[in-house]
Structure 1
């Protein structure tokens, strides 16, 4: 999947250092899919004994492989935008010279598929789908990230729903319980809002490069209100589902976490551009804690049905 765009002028000839490679793969971004994978493992209702090698391999697949691949792909195709927003990044700064960023993205794609294939057909299918989304999110001609509606949906699915599905499928060795699929999908929708807030940091560069993120399309105030709504509604639906499934205690726990998020959202909306990163470090933490509470509710449901 080559590109005709030229390498940034700051690039130099040579081999990138290991630290530059790690920076390109952005370990800080691996937490979300690894956490979602762990939620999938918990929600499966299966005992971990005897399955630790599979669990560890799945966590590596979710974070250091598939998520890291998406970061490498995104940095390669975003190198000209990053030259405006984040010129210190490995590719625009020249520390990842020539086409090394592209080669790393290809290598990590192949490695991810190899590990996924060893874990079974359901995991391979999920990884393949996630990797396809990672490429079409960043790469032309589709480049889903050019429009925040589509791009954020793809990232939300890859960061929450697919890893959750993969964790449950690794444990069950089959298609997970339909209730697991419902809850994982709902949390994927909510992640769309998280990604909208993440786009606040790059509004200037997105405008100049023609990327129609939601803060660019709607303005920061309206985009922030939309993000809060999109994060809130799926959690309300999860609470209703869990209550209907007689997991009232777990539903109450998620409701309490949601109330705390709403209080933080009220502060976010007073100054969204300045506080978007702050909310992603506070309110999003409560969001993912709610995911774990939901996973334990699903675990009890699946075990009760066994």
Structure 2
């Protein structure tokens, strides 16, 4: 009898442990690879502010951590939870559909990380807290019903572009300036690169066309067809950068304008190859073309720093 009870307790302990996700599953849920864009955009805002890091370096570190491992990670957890049925078709190996994130742990982590993000954002003052709250609101609106912006690629991609690039850039600049509103030049660049990110977000949709069609998610490849959506994505990336080049020239920053132009030209070469086979090469273009896009962001930020 004693042996039976000991065995039963052992089984209960083992089952209890299995009901908790492994750290590797939690890390995969938060998708660290996606943290880079908002972290980079925040850093661009810091550079564009023209403020020395000497006395505010800790604000920059907290802001970069907030943009990536906190707010962006939260958005990924929220998205995976509300996309678990779609992922069961498109990416069954993901933590939730595979069962490695059991029960409602995905939802619990999304809620908990939302709270942690807001607490950390308090350290950045009203601007940082407000920006984090807005970013988190967009993250939940993007994935969660009844809003679920991602069900329409036009709105969903716009929300991501604003959150990942625009809000992060403006917040970085404002926090470094002691809460002052960034200048018109910085706001213009943040808006333009947010618009360009709409095209980048479309690249992520080519791998999920089959599941999106079945589940009623109207991504741009579903709405427009793969080839047309690829062309639209490219135009979304190209046109804002053309305007950026024009603005840099208008602001008497010809060297920086030339740098962005050279990066755009390189993107154009890669885009030709991407457009020949969008579904097969969307991930390839994300790996090689998008870094050129974000490099242009930093070049533009240094142009503003030189004007400060």
TM-score interval w.r.t. the shorter chain?
A: over 0.9
How far apart are residue 179 of structure 1 and its match? 0.9
How far apart are residue 169 of structure 1 and its match? 1.3
How many angstroms apart in 2 are the aligned matches of 1:211 and 1:180? 34
How far apart are residue 267 of structure 1 and its match? 1.1
How many angstroms apart in 2 are the aligned matches of 1:134 and 1:83? 21
How far apart are residue 13 of structure 1 and its match? 6.2
Q: Which runs of 4+ in 1 moved over 4 A?
A: none
Corresponding residue pairs, total = 291
Q: What value does the CA root-mean-square deviation take over the aligned residues?
A: 1.0
How many angstroms apart in 1 are the aligned matches of 2:282 and 2:26? 28
Q: Provide the residue aligned with 2:12 in structure 1.
A: none
Which of the numbers 107, 126, 129 marks the counterpart of 1:124?
129
**1:220 maps to 2:232:** no
How many angstroms apart in 1 are the aligned matches of 2:98 and 2:248? 49
CA offsets, 1:261-290, max 9 Å, x none? Answer: 111111111111111111111111100000
Question: What does 1:216-255 correspond to in 2, within 5 Å?
Answer: 216-255=222-261
**1:79 maps to 2:84:** yes
Q: Provide the residue aligned with 1:175 in structure 2.
A: 181
Question: Which structure's residues are more often helix, by fraction?
Answer: 2
How many angstroms apart in 2 are the aligned matches of 1:21 and 1:282? 28
Structure 2 residue ranges without an equivalent (≥5): 1-16
> What TM-score do you get using the length of structure 2 for normalisation?
0.93
Q: Provide the residue aligned with 2:104 in structure 1.
A: 99
Q: Provide the residue aligned with 1:272 in structure 2.
A: 278
Which of the numbers 149, 166, 170 marks the counterpart of 2:154?
149
Q: Provide the residue aligned with 1:67 in structure 2.
A: 72
Q: Provide the residue aligned with 2:303 in structure 1.
A: 297
Answer whether contact 1:190 1:230 (CA < 8 A) is retained.
yes
How many angstroms apart in 1 are the aligned matches of 2:59 and 2:291? 27
CA offsets, 1:130-167, max 9 Å, x none? Answer: 11000010000010000000000001111111111111
How far apart are residue 248 of structure 1 and its match? 1.0
How many angstroms apart in 2 are the aligned matches of 1:230 and 1:251? 19
How many angstroms apart in 2 are the aligned matches of 1:39 and 1:270? 33
Answer whether contact 1:13 1:98 (CA < 8 A) is retained.
no
How many angstroms apart in 1 are the aligned matches of 2:175 and 2:26? 29
How many angstroms apart in 1 are the aligned matches of 2:47 and 2:293? 17
How many angstroms apart in 2 are the aligned matches of 1:63 and 1:136? 18
Q: Provide the residue aligned with 2:56 in structure 1.
A: 51
**1:259 maps to 2:272:** no
How many angstroms apart in 2 are the aligned matches of 1:248 and 1:292? 15
Task: Point out the structure with max Rg over C-alpha.
Answer: 2
**1:202 maps to 2:205:** no
